[in-house]
Structures are given as structure tokens and as C-alpha cells.
Structure 1
């Protein structure tokens, strides 16, 4: 059995300027998974940097409210919404609330630095 506590995950600032904690990553923990799972925070009034991945990604909003930008589209996002981000799409998210915007990031196959481009 493998269980990982969010509070025991190292917190760091990702290249896209989100605050991240990696929960599951098959290359780092020898797990038989295709995807990686991270917990992300964007502080009030802040925006992640424009970036794109060569693979698809899903955000699942846990807390807060924001605006999700994918290529030429944008939409307000709220808790309990899942957002599909197609491969090669320019994406970023802005926190529009007074508290932290918290969400899960699922990348399949698992995220690797060489698969992401800051634009």
C-alpha cells in the first residue's frame, strides 16, 4: 500500500509560478502509473505563467475562484470543476478571489521538465 500525506510533500515554486506539491509521480516513487498528480496553489491576484505541455493535462478545482485561459478561450472556474487542457495548448490560470486558488493537476503521461515550455 502506498499513501502520501500532502503536508509531508515538499512545497516548491514551479516554472509556471504556481506553488506545487507533487503527490504522485511514477518516475520518482517507482509507482506503476502513467500519470502524475500534483497539488497547486495560485495566490490571490496572481496568475500562473503562460505555458504549454506536449501532453494533456487536467485541473480539478478544490478551492477559490479564477479564470482559466486555454489558447484563445477563457472561462471562470470554481470548486468541483474539472478542466481538460489539450496537448500543445497555451494555458494559464488567474486567481480572481480573495483566498488561495487550490487545484489538482493531472498530467498523462507523467510530467517531465522537457515536456513543458514557458511561452
Structure 2
């Protein structure tokens, strides 16, 4: 059994400048723990594979394609491949999200 604690994984550099820690990376899927601090946001980007987001803590605004919605803890959001998306933390507390990409991307995410 492999147990990974978020606090023991280093944040990976990313174009968004937020805390992003890869917790799981196999040929089938990738899982990343992301913390978006108050006032931070992600750059709009396109992922080459399907992604789902699970909000672990906080509240934020997610924009996928032409849709934009405020979501909170214990929400699961489906983001289809090749659709521009982004996140905003307009609140006053950290927004923590689990991001799962399935299948594991063979191409890089593209910032637009």
C-alpha cells in the first residue's frame, strides 16, 4: 500500500503560480491537490483529456466554456477535454481542490 500525505509532497511549478502538488501519476490517471489562495486565479487553459474537480475546502468560481458557477466544499465538477476552463478564489479563505485527469494526458495543458 502506498500512502501519500499532501504536506509531504512539494508543490510543482506551474503557469498559474499556485500551490499544486501531484499526488498520483500513473499511465491511467493523474491526481493533483491544488490550493488557490484568496485573490488568486488560474489562467484560462485547455486540457487535452477529461478532468474532474472535487472541492475539498472553501468556495470558488469555476468557469468551463460559456458556463460560470460558484461552487463550494463537497462539490464535484466535470470538465470535458478541450474545453477552456479556469478557477477564481474571490473569497477570504483558501480554496482546496482535488483535480483528476483521466486518462493521463499525453500532451501538455495549453494556456490561452
Q: Which runs of 5+ in 1 are unaligned?
A: 27-32
Give me the TM-score of the superposition, normalised by structure 1.
0.87
Give me the TM-score of the superposition, normalised by structure 2.
0.92
1:12 Cα deviation after fit? 2.8
Instruction: Give me the CA root mean square deviation.
Output: 1.4
Counterpart in 2 of 1:110? 104
How is 1:72-91 mapped onto 2 (pairs within 5 angstroms)? 72-91=66-85
Counterpart in 2 of 1:30? none
Q: Which runs of 5+ in 2 are unaligned?
A: none
Counterpart in 2 of 1:43? 37
Question: In structure 1, what is the Cα distance between the partners aligned to 2:98 and 2:11?
Answer: 14
- As a proportion of its length, which structure holds more helix? 1
> How many positions carry a matched residue from both structures?
112
8 Å contact 2:51–2:99 — kept in the other structure? yes
